[in-house]
Chains A and B, each alone.
Chain A
C-alpha cells in the first residue's frame, strides 16, 4: 500500500515537472550543456584578462552567451507581451534597432559625423531614441489593433523600410563616436569584469517583473489575447492594450539599440541586429509560450533567450559560419513547432493514456 503511494507521488512530481513551462527550455539547456561537455569541456572555460583599455575583463563562451544573450532577453520581454496581446509577432525589431541606434548616433554627433565631443549627454540622446522607437512601436500597434492587420504582415512594412529609414536619419553617413563613455553600455565598465549588457538585462528584467506585479499589464494582455470579445465586455480596450504591448517592445528595442551602437561606437545599417527578430521570437516559443497569444510566462521567455544564445555559441564553436546559422536554428524551430502542434499534442495525450492503462493492467 505504502509503496503504491510513493509511486503515485513520484509520478505526480514527474508530470508536474513535464507540465512546467520551464521544462522545455531547461531540457534544451541540459542537452546543449551535455553535448558541449562531451565535445570538450574547454567550452566552459572562463579566463580573466585585460582589454585594450587596460581594464580587467572576463572572456570565454559562457561570458559571450551572457553578453549577447542579454540583448535577446531584453527583446524577448517585449516580444512576449506583443505575442500575448496580439497573437502574433513583430518581425521588425531588427530594423527598429537600426532606427533607434541611428537616432542615438545622430543625437550624439549633432549632424557632424566625426564629432570632437558629444552634442548632448548620452542619457538624453538615449531617451530621445526611446521615444522614437516607441513611436514606431505605436505605428505597428495601430496597424494591428485598429486596422486588424496580422502582426507579421503589419510589421513587414517596418521590416522592409526600417534600415533605409535608419540610414536616412544620418544622411547615409556612418558617424563614429570616440567618447569612451559610450563604449561602456555594450562593453565593460572600467573595473567591472562582467559585460555591461548583462547588468542592463537584469535592470530590464527587474523592471518588467515590478510592472507585472504592481500593474495589471499581465492580466489585461492575457485577457485580450485569450478572448477579445469578453475583455471588451469587461470594460477593457483591446486596441489600446495591443498598442501598449507594441510600445513596450519599442522601448526594449531602444535599449538594444544603445547596446548595439555602444559595441562598435558606430553603426552598420544593413548588418546591425540582423535576424535578431527570429531569435527573439524563438526565445518566446522555446519558453513554452503559445505563439497564438494568450497566457504567457515571462521568466520562461527570458530564460529561453539565453538558451537560444547558448545554441548559437555552440554552433559557432563547431565552426558553423554565420550564414549557415539560420539553417541549424530552423531545425530547432521545426522541433518546437511540431511538438506544440495540436495534432501532435493530441497524439502524445493518447499515447500517455494508453501507457497508463497498460501500467494499471
Chain B
C-alpha cells in the first residue's frame, strides 16, 4: 500500500434480498484528508459505511488498512474500533446524563476499578488539546449539540482512530456551530487523521473537503479532486445525467399561463415551520402541475409539509383562492381542500394493520366527522371503486395494507386523498421505491387530474420525472428556495446549475 493511504476498500459487493446495494465499489482514503462521500438516496453510501464499520458483512471484496498485512476482517463495530475506524453519527450516541469524562471513557476501561481522578485529568487534557469548550465533570446534556458532537469526535480520536467517519454531523447544527466543527476537523486533518464526511450540504463540501467520491445506484461513479469537480458537475454526477446529453427530455407539459382576473389556488407567503427551512414564497394556479426540486435534504419535503401544516408552523400566511386561511394542522389544510401524500409511506402514510378499505376511507371519514361513519356497504363500494380505478392489486378490500407491495400501498394512500376530492394535491415522492409500471401510471394520473382542474405539486428525486410532469419547478438548495424555473428554462442543465448555485 502506498505510504499516504490509510484505508482502501476494493471491489466491495453487498446484496440484500432483492437489492444489490453495492456492486464493486472502490474507496480510497488518504492520511490527512477530508473526503466527501456523496450520492442521492439509495446510492449506497450508508451501506458502504456500515460494511466498513462492521454493521453489515460484505459479500465480496477486501478492506486494506495502513499498518495491517493483507485484508482486515471487520465483523462488528468493536472490531472496527480496534483497528482504528470510528464513526460519529448525526444523532449523538453518547449518554446525555453522564459526565463528559465518563462519556469519553465509557466501555474502554477494563476491570471493575476506575481511577476517577486520572480519568478526569486525562479528559481535560484531550479537551484542551482539541480546543473543545467543555469541562470533564460537566454533564454531557448541558453542552450544546455541536460540543456534544465534538466530544464524540474527541472520544474517537483518543481511541487512536486513523479513520474517522462523520455521518451527517452538521444536519442539526447552526452556522457558528458548523464553523466550530470544521475547525476541529481541520485540526484533525493536520494531525494525519483520514476523515470521511457524509453530508447533503454542497456548500460545506466545497468549504472543507479535499476529495469527493460520488456513488449512484450502488456503484462507484468516481473519485475526484475537489478542484476538478465544479458544483454543477457534481450535481450531474449525483443525479446521473451527463451535462453533454442535455439535448433533454423537455416536458410535454405546456407552460401554464394564468388567465386574466384569476387568482392562484394557493399562495404562501413567508411560510416557515420548525423543521429548519428558511421562509419561502410559493403559489400554484388552477390546473397547474409544479414541483419542488433539489438534492436530498435540501428542504423540499419540509416546504410542502409547512404548507399542509404537518410540521409546527412558525410563521407566514396562506391564501386559498385569494382568501387568507389559517392552516396550523393537517385538519385545517384538509378542510381547505388540500391533500398531502407524505414522503415516508411507512411512517406517515399507511396505517399498517388496518385494511385497504379503512385506509382508503380514513381521511374523508375524518372530514365527515366522528358521528357520521360510512356504512359498511358504502365503505366496500368506495374501496372497490378506487381499487378498480387505480388498479390496486389486493386480495380483497379487507386485506391489511401492510401485506401489499410498496407500489400498491402507495396507490391506496393516493386513493385515500383522491377520495377527499381535493382542490390542491401535494404528492411527495409518490414514485419512490415502486415499480416502473406504477410510476408511469402515477405520472399519467397526475397529468389527467391537472387537466380536470386539480392543482398538483409533485416532488420526486428523479429529475426526468419532474421535467415530464411539471410546468414549473421551484429549486431548493440547503433549505432555501434559490430559484424558480419554467418555460424554456425547464431543462436538465438549467435545473442542475440552479441546484448547484451557478456554473462554478
Contacts and interface: CB of A to CB of B under 8 A. Distances in A.
Given A223-B358, A227-B352, A229-B348, 6 more contacts: A213-B373, A216-B371, A223-B354, A227-B347, A233-B330, A235-B363
B391 to A, nearest CB: 23
Contacts of A216: 365-366, 369-371, 373
A226 B331 contact: no
Contacts of A223: 351, 354, 358, 362
B342 interface: yes
Contact of A235 (B334, B354, B371): B334
A285 to B, nearest CB: 17
Interface in A202-246: 213-217, 219-220, 222-223, 226-227, 229-237
Given A214-B373, A219-B358, A236 B366 contact: yes
A295 B310 contact: no
Given A219-B358, A223-B362, A233 B348 contact: yes
Interface in A90-134: none
B350 interface: yes
Contacts of B366: 216, 220, 234-236
A220 B331 CA distance: 14
Contact of B370 (A213, A215, A222, A229): A215
B370 A235 contact: no
B351 A227 contact: yes
Nearest to B375: A213
Interface in B315-361: 329-331, 334, 340, 342, 347-354, 358
Nearest to A213: B373
Contacts of A213: 373
A230 B353 CA distance: 12
Contacts of A295: 353-354
A294 interface: yes
Interface string A180-197: 000000000000000000
Interface of A: 213-217, 219-220, 222-223, 226-227, 229-237, 294-295
A233 B310 contact: yes
B367 interface: yes
A222 B354 contact: yes
Central interface residue in A214, A226, A227, A235, by most chain B CB within 10 Å: A235
Contact of B347 (A222, A229, A237): A229
Contacts of A214: 371, 373
Nearest to A290: B353
Given A215-B373, A216-B370, A234-B366, A226 B334 contact: no
A216 B329 CA distance: 20
Given A232-B330, A234-B330, A234-B363, A219 B353 contact: no
Contacts of A226: 351-354
8 contacts: A216-B365, A216-B371, A217-B370, A227-B352, A230-B342, A233-B340, A235-B331, A236-B331
B330 A230 contact: no
A231 B348 CA distance: 8
A139 B218 CA distance: 52
Interface in B143-195: none
Given A216-B373, A230-B348, A235 B330 contact: yes
A237 B366 CA distance: 10
A222 B354 CA distance: 8
Interface residues of B, number: 27
Given A235-B334, A235-B363, A230 B370 contact: no
Interface string B281-310: 000000000000000000000000000101
Interface string B405-426: 0000000000010000000000
B96 to A, nearest CB: 17
A232 B365 CA distance: 13
A2 B423 CA distance: 56
A174 to B, nearest CB: 42
A236 B365 CA distance: 10
Contacts of B351: 222-223, 226-227, 230-231
A187 B218 CA distance: 73
A246 to B, nearest CB: 17
Contacts of B342: 230, 233
Contacts of B331: 235-237
A237 B330 CA distance: 9
Contacts of A236: 331, 366
Central interface residue in A215, A220, A222, A230, by most chain B CB within 10 Å: A230
B249 to A, nearest CB: 32
A217 B369 CA distance: 11
A235 B367 contact: yes
A228 to B, nearest CB: 10
Contact of B349 (A230, A237, A294): A230
A223 to B, nearest CB: 5
A159 B369 CA distance: 35
Contacts of A231: 351
A215 B363 contact: no
Contacts of A219: 354, 358, 362, 365, 373
Contacts of B416: 234
A294 B347 contact: no
A221 to B, nearest CB: 11
Contacts of B354: 219, 222-223, 226, 295
Contacts of A217: 370
Contacts of B329: 232, 235
A231 B354 CA distance: 12
A235 B416 CA distance: 13
A294 B355 CA distance: 12
B362 A234 contact: yes
Nearest to A212: B373
A202 B322 CA distance: 55
Nearest to A218: B373
A21 to B, nearest CB: 13
Nearest to A231: B351
A231 B334 CA distance: 13
B399 to A, nearest CB: 14
A227 B401 CA distance: 13
Nearest to A232: B330
Contacts of B330: 232-235
Contacts of A233: 308, 310, 330, 340, 342, 348-349
Given A233-B310, A233-B340, A233-B342, A222 B353 contact: yes
B261 to A, nearest CB: 33
Nearest to A223: B351
A304 to B, nearest CB: 20
A217 B370 CA distance: 7
A223 B351 CA distance: 6
Contacts of B308: 233
A263 to B, nearest CB: 36
Contacts of B340: 233
A227 to B, nearest CB: 5
